[in-house]
Amino acid sequence: MKLKELGEEISSIEIDDIDRLANEDKWIEFTSINLGHWASVDLRKISDDVGLKELYDKYYVYTSGYMHSNWGAVRESVYQKCVNPLHRYHRIPTYDLPLMPSVTSDARNITNGILECLSEAYPKLDCRLTQSDKKEQEKSES
């Protein structure tokens, strides 16, 4: 591949022969490669490595269930209890989609954490998100 990238040839072997040899047992497209950032690590490990495991535990674990459509999140967001007591509280699809609690406050806290990190690198950047007045907040959350 390097020779192909360089557009070079060598006298001892043809590039097509190298290509054939390299793909003999396993076609190169099926060979795993390490792309760096996400290779062999997950977000939990990364958060632990950078000292943000507490933040990960606080926000990620619960919300990732919604991102990955885990049963708990599906159950919470699109099912409701059947009201017939003889049915032993089984779940039925909800009649309308319920409004989930707002994530605005959590998002503001996380964003301010990011801005805090940026302030260390760029001391002149000292802006933070603040909570709007109650009336505005209620309007945006409804």
> Interface with Zn ion includes 44 (CB under 5 A)?
no
| Closest CB 44 distance from Zn ion, rounded Å | 38
HEC per residue, the chain: CHHHHHCCCECCECHHHHHHHHCCCCCHHHCCCCCCCCCCCCHHHHHHHCCCHHHHHHHHHHHHHHHCCCHHHHHHHHEEECCCHHHCCCEEECCCCCCCCCCHHHHHHHHHHHHHHHHHHCCCCCCCCCCCCHHHHHHHHC
Smaller CB distance to Zn ion: residue 50 or 92?
A: 92
Q: Per-residue x/- marks for Zn ion, 83-122, CB under 5 A?
A: -x--x-----------------------------------
User: In the complex with Zn ion, which residue's Cβ is closer, 20 or 91?
Assistant: 91
The residue among 91 and 128 lying less far from Zn ion, judged by its C-beta, is 91
Give me the residues that bind Zn ion (CB under 5 A), please: 82, 84, 87
